[in-house]
Amino acid sequence: MNTEYLKITGEHYNDAEVIDRAARVIQNGGLVAIPTETVYGLAGSALIPTSAEKIFSAKGRPADNPLIVHIAKPEEAETLAYTCDAYYKLAERFMPGPLTMILPKKGIVPDEVTAGLDSVAIRCPSNDIAHKLIEASGHPIAAPSANRSGIPSPTKAEHVLTDMDGRIDMIIDGGECDIGLESTVIKLTDDGCVILRPGAVTEEMLAEVCDVVTVAKAVIEPSVAAEERVESPGMKYKHYSPKADVILVDANMTDFVAYVNANSDNKCGVFSSNEYRTHFTSAATLITGEHPSARDESKSLFHLLRKADEMGLERVYIKLPEAKGEYLALYNRLIRASGGKIVKPE
């Protein structure tokens, strides 16, 4: 298959023309990779069963891991799912944006999209290109992250090209994603919600709207057994992993530097702020920012994990963040990427 690569602000295409062509691909059952505010998504019509099948096959995704359905406006969920007051309360505050809600599904959503579950994940992205494409196609859009299954999610169009060239119809290059980690996924309960996957909409932000917010146990568990029953199938798979081994180090900055220096050779890398780069004597530094905030570290994570592989590194050291607040999403992706490998220097 020939994959067309279109830059939304390029010289040759004006925005409306690119969106129009992509919308036709979606309507005809094809796949288009699109930017969203979180990560690039691999978009196909959520109403055409064969589009979902193509998504699973292009990604090499396990058949029991359901897709998120993207809509342009919160009320469009009505045709796809059974909504409730809590849905609208949360939608008013967080949609459009990086929040996905699991709702009981209606018959119109094919089993191919939800992997046979009786629920459907609904998200309303704020990215302008994603939003316009949903509107122009007139279809709700099923879109997982546009990476090959198991490896770091794509936050730039180049990442998608590396993974998907020749496997999908079109890639829209809309620049780097703002957030860089996938949306927060929640399940609604009688008195609040449960976070199944943490993201930029944090536990604390949800608590401003919901009475009770809990975090599913699997979110911070270093590894989830394959046979374990989890509320969100995506929780149990190896995820976000580069070829290089990711080693998380649970230590303060001084001990982290000492540990990395004592255990590195020229095949090792370390995630570092620009400020600390000169402290590392043998590991190659992968720079997360000048004085990186949680947002900066989140935004650079997947790009740097991919870069580690491009540099041919065999091992990458990362200082373990705390499992709370804005760092919870980062913590969750890191323990998955590392396969639970956490060292605590004496």
**DSSP assignment, residue 314?**
S
Closest approach, Cβ 149 to Mg ion, in A, equals 8
Four-point Cα dihedral 195, 201, 202, 203, nearest 10: -50
- Bridge-based pairing of strands 315-319 and 245-249 is parallel
Q: Toward ligand TXA, which CB reaches closer, 131 or 315?
A: 131
Asked whether the CA dihedral 33, 37, 38, 44 is positive or negative, the reply is: negative
Token pair belonging to 102: 């699991």
- Total residues at interface with ligand TXA (CB under 6 A): 27
CB nearer to ligand TXA: pick between 248 and 329: 329
Site for ligand TXA in 125-164 (CB under 6 A): 143-145
* Residue 67 contacts ligand TXA per CB under 6 A: yes
| Helix residue ranges, H only, 156-252 | 157-164, 203-207
Residue 36 lies near Mg ion (rule: CB under 5 A): no
Count of residues making up the chain = 346
Interface residue with ligand TXA, options 45, 232, 264, 272 (CB under 6 A): 232
When binding is defined by CB under 5 A, the residue of 51, 114, 119, 145 that contacts Mg ion is 145
Q: Applying CB under 5 A, which part among 28-36, 129-137, 140-148, 257-265 lies near Mg ion?
A: 140-148
Verify binding: residue 185, ligand TXA, rule CB under 6 A. yes
Of the ranges 115-123, 253-261, 281-289, 316-324, which one interacts with ligand TXA (CB under 6 A)?
115-123
Encoded one letter per residue, x for contact with ligand TXA by CB under 6 A and - for no contact, window 3-42 reads ---------------------------------x-xx-x-
- Distance between CA atoms of residues 191 and 193, nearest Å: 7
Handedness of CA 22, 28, 31, 35 (dihedral sign): positive
> Is residue 121 a contact residue for ligand TXA (CB under 6 A)?
yes
Least separation in angstroms between CB 147 and Mg ion: 7
Contact status: 99 vs ligand TXA (CB under 6 A): no
Dihedral sign for Cα atoms in the order 280, 286, 287, 292: negative
Q: Is 102 in the site for ligand TXA (CB under 6 A)?
A: yes
What are the φ/ψ torsions at residue 81 (nearest 5 degrees)? -150, 165
Q: Does 66 bind ligand TXA (CB under 6 A)?
A: yes
How many other C-beta atoms are found inside a 10 Å radius of the C-beta of residue 57?
A: 11
d(CA 125, CA 134): 10
Tell me the closest approach of the beta carbon of residue 144 to Mg ion, in angstroms: 5
Radius of gyration of the chain (CA): 20
Amino acid at 281: T
Binding partner selected for residue 183 from Mg ion, ligand TXA, none, CB under the kind-specific 5 to 8 Å limit: ligand TXA
- Which residues form the interface with Mg ion (CB under 5 A)? 145
